Each structure stands twice: as C-alpha cells, then as structure tokens.
Amino acid sequence: MAGGAGMKPLAAHFATAPRLLDLRGEFPALPEGWAYLDAAATAQKPRPVIEAITNAYARDYATVHRGVYARSAHMTEAYEAAREAAARFLNGRVDETIFVRGATEAINLVANSWGDANIGAGDRILLTQLEHHANIVPWRMLADRTGAEIDVAPLTPDGRIDEAALIALITPATKLVAIAHVSNVLGSVADVARIADAAHAAGAKLLVDGCQAAPRLKVDVQALGADFYCFSAHKLYGPTGIGVLWVKKPILDAMPPWQGGGAMIDEVRFERVTYADAPQRFEAGTPHIAGAVGLHAAIRWVEDIGIEAIDAHERALTAIARAELARLNNLRLFGPEETAGILSFAVGDIHPHDVATILDEGGVAIRAGHHCAQPLMRWLGVPATARASFSAHSSEADVALLVKGIERTMRIFG
C-alpha cells in the first residue's frame, strides 16, 4: 500500500491521540528501549501478578479441596475466590465457570463432551474463515468422528466476518456456530450478539473464542448471548497453563464429564461411578492452584486500570501505527481500519520472518508466521504476515521503534 500525501508526522499523531496509559514501570520484564509488540501471543506480567504467584508458592502453598488443615482451607478459599473473580469478569455465575489449561483445552472440552453428546451424522458446524486452529481442529476431529459437516462463513473485503453471509449459512441442521470474538491476526471484532440471535433462532448453540477479546474488551456473556465463552489467562496478563471456560448453566448441567480422575467424582466403585456437579465434574486431578491465584491477580489488575481504558489505549496506538505504516511505500496493511489492538502487515516481498529478525536487532519484538490461522493466510493470499500487537504497557515509543525498524528493513532489502 503506497503512502498518501499529507500524512501527519509521528509526533503530531501522538499529540492528537487520546490520553495514553503509562504502565510500563509495572512490568519488570520490560527493559528500557525494548518494544514488546507480541501481546496477542502472550502478555507480559505486571508486578502484582508476579508477586501473587510467588506468594502462592513461597508462602501460602497447599493442596485444595482435600486437606483438613488450615493452610489447605485458606488455599481452597483463594482458589475459589479466583473462580468468583473470573465469573464476575465475564458477568457469569460461579457454577458456570470452569478452570482449564487454556482456551485450546476449553474448546476441546466442549467438542468432546457437549459435541459428542449432541452432534451426529448430517448435523452441521459453522465456523469462519479467520478462526485460530484451536477453533478449527477440534471441530474437524468431531466431524470426522460423527459424520457431521463443517460450513465456513466468508469475510468482508477488509477482513471482518461477513455476518450477513454467516447468518445465511445457518440452517435447521446447524447445531453449533463457533467464532472468534476478535481475530488474532486482523484484530477485527465480531458482532457476537447479532450472531447469537441468529444461531438461537435456528436452534443452534454459539461458542465464542475470547482469547483476544478478554484482555481488551468488556465481555458480558449475558449481553453477548453466548452459550460457551473461553479465554486464556496468559493473554490477560496472567500465568500460562490456566484459562476459563464459561458455559450456560442448563447446557453445562447436561454435559457428561470429559476426563476422569480425582476431584471430579461423587462416588467410585468398580462397577459404577457417579460424578460431581459442574464445574467440579470437569476439573479432574490436582488443579493449577498458583495459576488460579495469578489469574485472580491479573483480573484485579485489569479491573483497577479499567478495561475500557486499556481498549482505548490500544486502539489509539494501533491507529497511530496504522497511519504511520500506511505512508510507507510497498507496505501492505491487512484488516479493517478500526481494530482491537492488533495490526498485521507485509513489507514488499520480504519474508515476514526476515522482517521480524531485523526488527529484533533494533529492539522490537513482533510475531511473524501464519499465527495458527492457515485458512486465513490462504484467504489473504500470503504464506505469512508480520504482526504487531499492542497491550496496556505499550507506548508511543514502541510505535516509533516499530516504524524506524521497518524503514531500516526496507533500506537493507533495497
């Protein structure tokens, strides 16, 4: 995309932008002069989250739900307080909120529990062209097991879900619609409530992959109308290895367990097993205790800052970066003009891995590759993209380093 005449200089963009957050000092893993622009892959951790995890292991650690001693009881209270915080964060109920290893496990849980019980030969599952592999592969596996069919909704020319076309694809045979709330490649935001209404009118359920939405958008599962909603803690400034699956209560109560083991049972006999109520029925084994504590700290931190403030901050930086990159000759921007903190691009015919390598030499960390979205790459007509993703700790200095690094890349490759 060639740059337009009369583009404002970088300083002018910053001068007219909404007031930006200044949170970099809360992130000890961010050295001065390093622009970390890969939050869509995983977010850096603020000091309160690190301290909560440290204390969970170094001061408070014990098992949960089983011990009769005081520390175990206190750790159980902390673990369940994290569940309450996660439920509140989504405006869901505590008994609808399951801890999982991450969104990938959440979607696999739904596919293997609800999916196996409710989808059969001739049924249809509706996905979209921009889904992450974690919201494609489990449904492909389910379809292969059951004889169901998969439909794929197209995108608009600027890279948003074509919601009218998606709705037209919903038929009485459609049992599930599964979409990303925010694209991990393009940053485009789906109108979840509109899609939910159409799915429910046909008797279908709606699953929403909220990995990129939860760190930057206000999520209200009641207002959205979702039946299943999931996200990973590590993208929400929390630890890896834990995530949240929210399921509407009547649906959850009818779902059979997926994994067997300790903690998810009521009574075990060799001839018969009865299971605990949800959500415990879906949490076999010793859970990620410190991870739950870290997630709780991350939610508190985000709520203290304000998710609306984080969203405005990221959108402002993304808009500035987009405007600056648009003025560079032979640079192609992907996705709509307005995005939620994520910007993908290609620099001429330079491979995105080379772009990312040269940017890294200049202290800028971005993602390069297919971003676990190979069908979307084919739709874009490229094997890969370079992706800059902003977060609460990103700054105008990061944008300046990004632009400077891309200009250097262009000079190196002529």
Query: β-pairing, 149-153 with 124-128?
Result: parallel
Instruction: Please check the confidence at residue 36 and state whether its pLDDT lies above 90.
Output: yes
Instruction: Select which of 17, 50, 372, 382 is catalytic.
Output: 372
Q: Is 230 a catalytic residue?
A: no
> From the centroid of its chain, how far is CA 93?
21
Please give the Cα distance from 281 to 247 (Å, whole number): 13
Q: Model pTM?
A: 0.94
In 210-324, beta strands by DSSP E = 228-232, 243-247, 265-268, 273-275
- Helix, strand, coil percentages (3-state) for the chain, rounded to 5, are 45, 15, 40
Please give the Cα distance from 89 to 82 (Å, whole number): 10
Instruction: Please check the confidence at residue 377 and state whether its pLDDT lies above 80.
Output: yes
Tokens 């979607």 locate to 107
pLDDT band at 43 (very low <50, low <70, confident <90, very high): very high
Q: What are the helix (H) ranges across 147-268?
A: 163-169, 192-201, 221-224, 249-254
Q: What is the CATH number of domain 10-45+306-412?
A: 3.90.1150.10
| 144: region left, alpha or beta (phi > 0 left; psi from -120 to 50 alpha) | alpha
Beta bridge partners of 177: 126, 206
Q: Cα 389–307–167 angle (5° rounding)? A: 75
How does pLDDT run across 182-203, given as a tens digit for each residue?
A: 999 999 999 999 999 999 999 9
pLDDT at 1: 35
Instruction: Please check the confidence at residue 2 and state whether its pLDDT lies above 50.
Output: no
pLDDT at 268: 96
Please give the Cα distance from 318 to 312 (Å, whole number): 10
- Name which of 13-22, 106-115, 404-413 the model is least confident about: 13-22
Q: What are the helix (H) ranges across 26-182?
A: 47-58, 70-90, 103-110, 116-118, 137-146, 163-169
Tokens 């200049």 locate to 362
pLDDT at 66: 82
How does pLDDT run across 236-271, given as a tens digit for each residue?
A: 999 999 999 999 999 999 999 999 999 999 999 999
Please give the Cα distance from 252 to 167 (Å, whole number): 25
Q: What is the CATH number of domain 50-304?
A: 3.40.640.10
Encoded amino acid at 166, one letter? L
pLDDT at 10: 54
pLDDT band at 7 (very low <50, low <70, confident <90, very high): very low
Nearest of 224, 149, 216 to residue 183 by alpha carbon: 216
Are 176 and 119 in contact, with CB atoms under 8 Å apart?
yes
Nearest of 382, 21, 334, 352 to residue 187 by alpha carbon: 334
In the three-class reduction of DSSP (H, G, I as helix; E, B as strand; rest coil), residue 340 is classed as: coil
Q: Is the peptide bond before 279 cis (omega within 30 degrees of 0)?
A: yes
User: What is the rounded average pLDDT for all residues in the chain?
Assistant: 95
How does pLDDT run across 335-366, given as a tens digit for each residue?
A: 999 999 999 999 999 999 999 999 999 999 99
Quote the tokens at residue 149. 């069919």
pLDDT at 160: 97
pLDDT at 414: 81
Q: Cα 349–350–354 angle (5° rounding)? A: 165
Around Cβ 41, how many Cβ atoms within 10 Å? 17
pLDDT band at 18 (very low <50, low <70, confident <90, very high): low
Instruction: Please check the confidence at residue 16 and state whether its pLDDT lies above 60.
Output: no
**CB-based contacts of 271: which residues, under 8 Å, 6+ apart?**
none
How does pLDDT run across 295-331, given as a tens digit for each residue?
A: 999 999 999 999 999 999 999 999 999 999 999 999 9
pLDDT at 374: 98
Please give the Cα distance from 259 to 281 (Å, whole number): 9
User: Residue ranges of the domains in the chain?
Assistant: 10-45+306-412, 50-304
Beta bridge partners of 146: none
Instruction: Please check the confidence at residue 9 and state whether its pLDDT lies above 70.
Output: no
Please give the Cα distance from 91 to 85 (Å, whole number): 10
How does pLDDT run across 277-291, given as a tens digit for each residue?
A: 999 999 999 999 999
In 226-382, beta strands by DSSP E = 228-232, 243-247, 265-268, 273-275, 331-334, 342-347, 364-365, 367-369
pLDDT at 6: 38
How does pLDDT run across 80-96, given as a tens digit for each residue?
A: 999 999 999 999 999 99
Instruction: Please check the confidence at residue 119 and state whether its pLDDT lies above 50.
Output: yes
Average pLDDT over residues 390-402: 97
